[in-house]
Chains A and B, each alone.
Chain A
Amino acid sequence: MLKNYFKIAIKVLRRNKLYTFISLFGISFTLMVLMLASAVLENELGGNPPLSKRDRILFLPSFTGQGFQRETVTAFDTTEVNGVMKIDTTVTTKVIEGQVSTNSSSSLSYKLYKDKLSKMKTPELSSVFIDYAPLDVYPQGQKLTLNGNLTDENYWKIFDFQFIEGGPFTKEAIDNQANVIILRESAAEKYFGKQESYLGMELVWGLNGPFKVIGVVKDVNTSNRSVRADFFVPFSWAGEGELDYNRLYFGSCVVALLGKKPSDVRKMEEELRTIENNLEKANDFDRYIIHEKDAGDIYAWQFMGSQVTREGRNFLRIVFGVLTFFLVIPILNLINLNVTRIFERSSEIGVRKAFGAKTGDLLIQFLFENLIITFLGGIIGILLTILLMNILNNAEIFGVNKLTFNLPVLLISIFITFVFGILSGFLPAWRIAKTPVAGALKTGKL
């Protein structure tokens, strides 16, 4: 029976080429846009390496110290000592709770990590790193700007980078400030030119001298700053400013916490609140806030919100809202087109109904037909998406991030196509199926 429906659907498509073209154009372009959007989101938030454990990771990118307004209260106290009036004045400074007058923010300091965060109980692992260390190099006389990341050994356990060759830093390499470096594939290729193996080659990191390559990792496709560096060096190479204990809690480090299971994230947040409250107050700061974010919040931060807010959920809500709105117009267009064309089929409907077909049968038939054309559009849409991805990747619209059409994207695409087919096909199919027999037979021409 389905085979019959299929045959009919193809016949109908070929009968009126103009309408087929209009429908297919609308479907394929709409699906292309949706597929592209899902590919971008999948690349960023899909839990691909090195962020496979993203639902257990909390990033601590920033830290705020707040000072409250102060009020000076002078109190006079008179006492009589040996018949002489004596005035005691006591000056007290009253802190007005909640009235913020100074606000300072920066990344975290190494001291904060070492003394407090590394001793947290809930996380399975914690890592400290400095994700911004730009370096200009001149390998072939041409300038090349690389961004470095200074990492500890836990970093490589939390983020599952895919090593093409070599491996991560050992604890000894970090403790001894070894001159070793891990490169990202594309950075290695740009610096050394294309080679079979980069292990053992040396890259000069400014005045710090030559560094030996001990590992090469695959390129990552996320914009998350914590993992998208071009090169990695041991954390001990951080400048004195970052490690200096005198700077108290403000510094330039980022901390990542890994929970044992996704539900630990909540507990880690609670533990952070306790740590905040127990930090020793200094330099006129009365309250400290550690701003934690998950991978989704970090991504959304590029577009909206501030370091204080966590906008991951809101951002997704807005994206889905806009996409739905975008979807409405082509669906309406398709419904409109289909509904107008009902009468083309009225003779067929009349005959089928006269021979005993039920409304449900016809509904299924027409829905199926609509699904066929939607899937045709979907296939064209996938081809268009791959084409557009190549164009965007070559033009480096998303920087070095490359969009890929992988299995999750394909599955999402099929799902979107299916939903689109049902949504745009149901109303017309229902209208067709409900056509009264007599009328259909009368107006229809066979």
Chain B
Amino acid sequence: MIAHYFKLIWKRKGRNAFLFVQLIFVFWVVFAVFSYGISKYRYYSTPLGFDWKEVYRVYVKFNTTTDTTAGKVMIESLKQDLKALPEIDKVSYSVYVSPYLGNRWGNGNDNDGFSFNTRYMYTDEDYADVWKIKLKSGRFYTIEDINGKYTPVVVTQKFVDQFMKDKEPIGFRFRFFNEMEAEVIGIAENFKFQGDFAEEEPFAFLPLTSSLELYQALNVKVKPGTGPEVEKKINDLVEKTTKSSDFGLTKVETARKSTNSRTYIPLAAMFFLAVFLIINIAMGLFGILRYNIARRIPEIGLRKAIGASSVAIRRQFTGEMLVLTVLAFIIAVIFAAQIPFITPLPIEKDAYFMGIGLGALVIFGIVYLCSLFPSHQAAETLPAKALHEE
């Protein structure tokens, strides 16, 4: 049966060639768009591990040339003054690494047989409260922890999964920097700080040390329902305390929007183009099929006259289309499947192959739907009329 369709397609190869090439191209476009979409969607559906709502981030720069004690007093009093504002819930200091910011610090080491490579940041003890970071086990560090011999760190589950598979994480001690011994005291569930569409990386929270240069950002959680008026209050307070206008306030929600738009605008554009190409193909197919079938009326009439049923006729036309699509799919896949072995893909391999699968499904579905109506028309042809035309 299928061999017979091959023969029919081959007989009309001149006419099918364009359709064939066109299908191959569309397969490629659809593979690319779907695999990119799937990869982004999978990142999006993993949990963030923090809550960005009602959080403001203030980039601050304390004049570090002033002596440390005065500096420390200034830093502490700014925090207390902010907390005293009625709209403000919680305040925390950290380095200028933050969700949806784009900055990242990394450190890797393989001292003493323990090898790791992680993103990290310094925060004070209130950071987990401001961002509502959920801990899986253990606890977040407090002021009392900081003066011990070992620096307390909180790592994410991803860190544990990647580097401490066969170890008991809580209480584990390792050298984070050459001159810094760390002890894991807590495990956070997730911390996908680079954005909703980013891949989660291993992460470690370290306590802010006495070095004033590391007090680079204020994280301010306001009470629910607070309007934008609070921005001016924070602005004035920071300006008054630091005696400088060299700082910047951002609502994390705004940063989130702009970070995410960098993913979903190109994604939306790609889908828009893919949908347009698919519609284009679908209409082209529909038109060509209708035309071809109209021209093959005598053939249909003859088949019907010698006893073929409507179902058989319908199956012949959709079958022919599907065989042609399968051929195009095979050629497209032969090329597409090579790509991961030639160049490193920007997305994971399994997302890529899922994209190929899903893309193929969509194209097959559309080809089938497009061939349904014209072949139905063909199947309904009355043999007498068809033969008469001849």
A-to-B contact residues, CB < 8 Å: 18-19, 22, 25-26, 29-30, 33, 134-136, 138, 141-143, 145, 205-208, 239, 325-326, 328-330, 332-337, 339-341, 343, 397
The interface residues of chain A lying within 8 Å CB-to-CB of B19 are 336
Chain A residue, CB-CB nearest to B295:
A343
**In the complex, given contacts A143-B235, A332-B22, what are 10 additional A-B residue pairs having Cβ atoms less than 8 angstroms apart?**
A30-B280, A145-B248, A239-B246, A329-B22, A329-B26, A329-B280, A333-B281, A335-B18, A337-B284, A337-B287
- CB atoms of A141 and B232 under 8 A apart: yes
Tell me the minimal C-beta distance from A373 to chain B in angstroms. 14
Tell me the minimal C-beta distance from B236 to chain A in angstroms. 9
Q: Is B38 an interface residue (CB 8 A)?
A: no
- CB atoms of A332 and B21 under 8 A apart: yes
Chain B 268-284, CB within 8 Å of chain A: the 1/0 string?
A: 00000100110111011
The interface residues of chain A lying within 8 Å CB-to-CB of B228 are 142-143
Tell me the minimal C-beta distance from B373 to chain A in angstroms. 12
Chain A residue, CB-CB nearest to B28:
A325
Assuming the contacts A22-B284, A337-B284, A340-B288, asked whether A329 and B18 have C-beta atoms less than 8 A apart, the reply is no
B-to-A contact residues, CB < 8 Å: 15, 18-19, 21-22, 25-26, 29, 228-229, 231-232, 235, 239, 243-246, 248-249, 265, 273, 276-277, 279-281, 283-284, 286-288, 290-292, 295
Complex CA distance for A33 and B276, rounded to whole angstroms: 10
- CB atoms of B231 and A135 under 8 A apart: no
- CB atoms of A18 and B287 under 8 A apart: yes
Tell me the minimal C-beta distance from A427 to chain B in angstroms. 9
Chain B residue, CB-CB nearest to A331:
B22
- CB atoms of A337 and B288 under 8 A apart: yes
The interface residues of chain A lying within 8 Å CB-to-CB of B244 are 207
Complex CA distance for A208 and B245, rounded to whole angstroms: 8
The interface residues of chain B lying within 8 Å CB-to-CB of A205 are 245
Cβ contacts A to B, 11 pairs, < 8 Å: A18-B287, A22-B283, A29-B276, A29-B280, A30-B280, A143-B249, A239-B246, A325-B25, A336-B18, A336-B22, A340-B15
The interface residues of chain B lying within 8 Å CB-to-CB of A22 are 283-284, 286-287
The interface residues of chain B lying within 8 Å CB-to-CB of A208 are 245
The number of residue pairs between A and B whose CB atoms lie closer than 8 Å in the complex comes to 88
Complex CA distance for A52 and B44, rounded to whole angstroms: 42
- CB atoms of A141 and B229 under 8 A apart: yes
The interface residues of chain B lying within 8 Å CB-to-CB of A142 are 228
- CB atoms of B248 and A207 under 8 A apart: no
- CB atoms of A207 and B243 under 8 A apart: yes
Assuming the contacts A333-B22, A337-B287, A337-B288, asked whether A206 and B15 have C-beta atoms less than 8 A apart, the reply is no
- CB atoms of B245 and A333 under 8 A apart: no
- CB atoms of A397 and B265 under 8 A apart: yes
Complex CA distance for A22 and B290, rounded to whole angstroms: 13
Tell me the minimal C-beta distance from A129 to chain B in angstroms. 18
Which among A33, A239, A332, A340 is the interface contact of B25 at CB below 8 angstroms?
A332
Assuming the contacts A22-B283, A337-B288, asked whether A206 and B273 have C-beta atoms less than 8 A apart, the reply is no
Complex CA distance for A344 and B159, rounded to whole angstroms: 68
Summarize A's interface: helix, strand, loop or mixed. helix
- CB atoms of B281 and A143 under 8 A apart: no
Q: Which of A141, A143, A239 is the most central at the interface, judged by chain B CB atoms within 10 Å of its CB?
A: A143
Complex CA distance for A205 and B246, rounded to whole angstroms: 11
Complex CA distance for A340 and B12, rounded to whole angstroms: 12
Complex CA distance for A339 and B235, rounded to whole angstroms: 68
Tell me the minimal C-beta distance from A432 to chain B in angstroms. 14
Complex CA distance for A141 and B291, rounded to whole angstroms: 66
Assuming the contacts A33-B273, A330-B280, asked whether A138 and B232 have C-beta atoms less than 8 A apart, the reply is yes
Complex CA distance for A333 and B281, rounded to whole angstroms: 7
Complex CA distance for A334 and B277, rounded to whole angstroms: 12
- CB atoms of B249 and A25 under 8 A apart: no
Complex CA distance for A33 and B275, rounded to whole angstroms: 13
Complex CA distance for A59 and B213, rounded to whole angstroms: 32
The interface residues of chain B lying within 8 Å CB-to-CB of A30 are 280
Chain B residue, CB-CB nearest to A399:
B258
- CB atoms of B249 and A136 under 8 A apart: yes
- CB atoms of B280 and A207 under 8 A apart: no
Assuming the contacts A138-B232, A141-B232, asked whether A336 and B248 have C-beta atoms less than 8 A apart, the reply is no
Complex CA distance for A136 and B279, rounded to whole angstroms: 47
Complex CA distance for A339 and B249, rounded to whole angstroms: 62
The interface residues of chain A lying within 8 Å CB-to-CB of B235 are 136, 138, 143
- CB atoms of B291 and A26 under 8 A apart: no
Tell me the minimal C-beta distance from A306 to chain B in angstroms. 15
The interface residues of chain B lying within 8 Å CB-to-CB of A141 are 229, 232
Which among B18, B273, B277 is the interface contact of A339 at CB below 8 angstroms?
B18
Complex CA distance for A347 and B174, rounded to whole angstroms: 87
- CB atoms of A206 and B245 under 8 A apart: yes
Which among B239, B281, B290 is the interface contact of A329 at CB below 8 angstroms?
B281
The interface residues of chain A lying within 8 Å CB-to-CB of B287 are 18-19, 22, 337, 340
Chain A residue, CB-CB nearest to B25:
A329
